[in-house]
Structure 1
């Protein structure tokens, strides 16, 4: 337990804390109880949430107790956005999203054994509170002059739109969560993203004001790409954990495509690789970047963590097959669809000649060019070289009846999609 904070710092997983020395001592003296919460603003967790779950996993393995909160009540209100009022979601929509997020979180923490994690829903203790009790028992501990200093609130107050009391009250609701879990479960540490710092402090201050106790808060850093752009819903580039939102293949490809300048930092944050292993991968990135050993390692570990070993094996097979190192015909229908979804291409009906198909998918710009490519031995269909310029794509060429993989050389891929 005494080493967990040092590990989190080394991995770059600590952005802010209320009191470093006090938190370090509390962790060393542990076990302590901590919680991390997720609001159902979407029907999936994303890569930023994954960072917090990874910290929670490490804390649990170090012997600390983890509470995972899904925001059945706070999700009905919504954390204020800096630019506009949130669109209210129905109770049924929020409940459905809560169930999906709960399922995802349960797959990443250990809810059995000697130190099981515990799943909680803040609707259970918030819904029974009357409006009068909410104002008397909790609202009295909050000062408006402090609440309006929160960045998102301040920006909204200075806008033409302003902010509704509904969203303004969000930080009271989140503070109430911490107070409830402190009283009911002895929770003394809340974990969140660095953009949640103001809400975390609201809970710390509420516990101090209401019960005279000192508790802790810690945030994880925002996750950015090599250029410093963050990943998230607001940026339109969120990396979802739900396979219906982001396929395992696309998830795997994100990690495979990490920049050499970024992959080692991501390994520290996301994986269980120790310092010696990460140093070894860093050396390989420097000396043999073309092997992409670090990218392959993190892609396999993260895809297995989120989607399971079977999904990882399927997407690895697809990656190999697309570039001629495996049997593309052996891929299952879902993996094939995911693997070819982002490829350039076009609709090609069964019976179309290969020459016309090459034009349709954009590999050749004319029939003469297509025939020349075939004559030079540079064209393959489903990784089988085409030698006859009069060959056609019959029904059996379309894998699972859906798509045929056309290739020029080793790297120029396109998908011929059956329109029927």
Structure 2
């Protein structure tokens, strides 16, 4: 492992955040002598970010923990264009009202991970629509566009992958990398920003911004990318059996968020503890050394710490207690996901879909046929089974790890 002088790069390195650095020695030297403002960008395509965005959020948190200044850029402007990185298709375009509502919703999560304010290391949140919407098209092409060659733009993975798959890439999306590069130039000028951070798929976009800032202003700026996080089974971080693992509680109950971390693969526990919690490294080393059934203690520690950071201590404690009661006592905790049934009865396949335990009726039927569905603890093998509602809450289970409640809406 490379030895660094600055607290920032030592922290990032020891916890496993560094995949690529544009100029390790230069950034290390800068971080030892001054506060480094650094930014990460997030598009506002939904009311919540998801666990797949958590790596970049944690990079900003580590930046602040090391005594530097996080700048959160909400892509109110770039959301209107769409980042082609990792995408096979163009993004659905949102209007200003939808984008602004998403940004307001997303900010609530950032306030749990970062300290915002007016101090030298306090985080700030900025909407890039503030300047991108003011750009004149001809002026942008003349002042910024001339620094980008089509030859080079065609070599970036975000473009190559779409073209290789013969998927349409609109001229609008093709301009995304120019706008993101301009963000770095603008932030360097207005906020003294010297660092951009992102996932490994953002390397080309980050390098573009560094080169643009150097060519136009002669300012030395830096880039850091984190490794792409895949789980031990090879699947992408941020997805669960029932869909995206949202950070906002309005999109995903606290218990389900806790369960996502509790159910990680044994092989991922140590790495995820380093990346997604603030537990000390010596404590993490002790936890990841546990073997056999004892590894569950490490998973619970991960679930508690990750949930407390994102949802608050009370939510983590409540979810942990619900899990304990559910699995140890067979009781139904108040924090289990629930669905209010308006009619006197509901088909089991519909109930499984409503609780998010199956993505479709077909998937629900396969779950039932495979013996994975239980109603109040009783295995149901009939795919046409109908749950009759009454005054009591009904407990529904999908496999051993997913439990929910059906309650009468009357």
- Taking structure 1 as the reference length, what is the TM-score of the superposition? 0.79
Residue 83 of structure 1: aligned partner: 88
Deviates more, 1:180-189 or 1:89-98: 89-98
> Residues 418 and 145 from structure 1, CA distance in 2 versus in 1: closer, same or farther, beyond 3 angstroms?
same
Residue 259 of structure 1: aligned partner: 265
Separation in 2, partners of 1:280, 1:323: 25
Aligned-residue offset at 1:113: 7.3
Matching residue within 78, 81, 85 for 1:74: 78
Could you tell me whether the CA contact under 8 Å between 1:18 and 1:216 is conserved in 2?
yes
CA-to-aligned-CA distance 1:248-295 (integer Å, 9 cap, x gap): 111101111122221011111111122211111123x22x53461111
RMSD over aligned CA atoms reads 3.2
Aligned-residue offset at 1:296: 0.8
Separation in 1, partners of 2:374, 2:167: 52
Deviates more, 1:122-131 or 1:44-53: 44-53
CA-to-aligned-CA distance 1:97-147 (integer Å, 9 cap, x gap): 122222222231101374311111101111111111111121122111111
What secondary structure sits across from 2:138 in the alignment?
helix
Matching residue within 352, 360, 363 for 2:378: 363
Separation in 1, partners of 2:241, 2:94: 21
Residue 171 of structure 1: aligned partner: 177
What secondary structure sits across from 1:219 in the alignment?
strand
Separation in 1, partners of 2:228, 2:173: 23
Deviates more, 1:245-254 or 1:100-109: 100-109
Could you tell me whether the CA contact under 8 Å between 1:48 and 1:222 is conserved in 2?
no
Residue 42 of structure 1: aligned partner: 46
Aligned-residue offset at 1:27: 1.6
1:237-248 equivalent positions in 2, closer than 5 A? 237-248=243-254
1:227-242 equivalent positions in 2, closer than 5 A? 227-232=233-238, 237-242=243-248
Residue 378 of structure 1: aligned partner: none
1:313-324 equivalent positions in 2, closer than 5 A? 313-324=317-328
1:205-244 equivalent positions in 2, closer than 5 A? 205-232=211-238, 237-244=243-250
1:11-410 equivalent positions in 2, closer than 5 A? 11-80=15-84, 81-112=86-117, 114=119, 115-232=121-238, 237-283=243-289, 285-286=290-291, 289-290=293-294, 292-325=296-329, 328=332, 331-332=333-334, 335=336, 337=338, 341=355, 363=378, 398=392, 402-404=393-395
Aligned-residue offset at 1:71: 0.5
Aligned-residue offset at 1:92: 2.1
Which consecutive unaligned segments of at least 5 residues does structure 2 have?
A: 340-351, 359-372, 382-387
Separation in 2, partners of 1:208, 1:105: 30
Separation in 1, partners of 2:389, 2:181: 64
Q: How many residues align?
A: 369
What secondary structure sits across from 1:69 in the alignment?
strand
Could you tell me whether the CA contact under 8 Å between 1:66 and 1:117 is conserved in 2?
yes
What secondary structure sits across from 1:218 in the alignment?
strand
> Residues 5 and 365 from structure 1, CA distance in 2 versus in 1: closer, same or farther, beyond 3 angstroms?
closer
> Residues 150 and 336 from structure 1, CA distance in 2 versus in 1: closer, same or farther, beyond 3 angstroms?
closer
> Residues 123 and 116 from structure 1, CA distance in 2 versus in 1: closer, same or farther, beyond 3 angstroms?
same
CA-to-aligned-CA distance 1:50-73 (integer Å, 9 cap, x gap): 111212112112211111110000
What secondary structure sits across from 2:187 in the alignment?
helix
CA-to-aligned-CA distance 1:296-321 (integer Å, 9 cap, x gap): 11100111111111211221221122
Could you tell me whether the CA contact under 8 Å between 1:48 and 1:193 is conserved in 2?
no
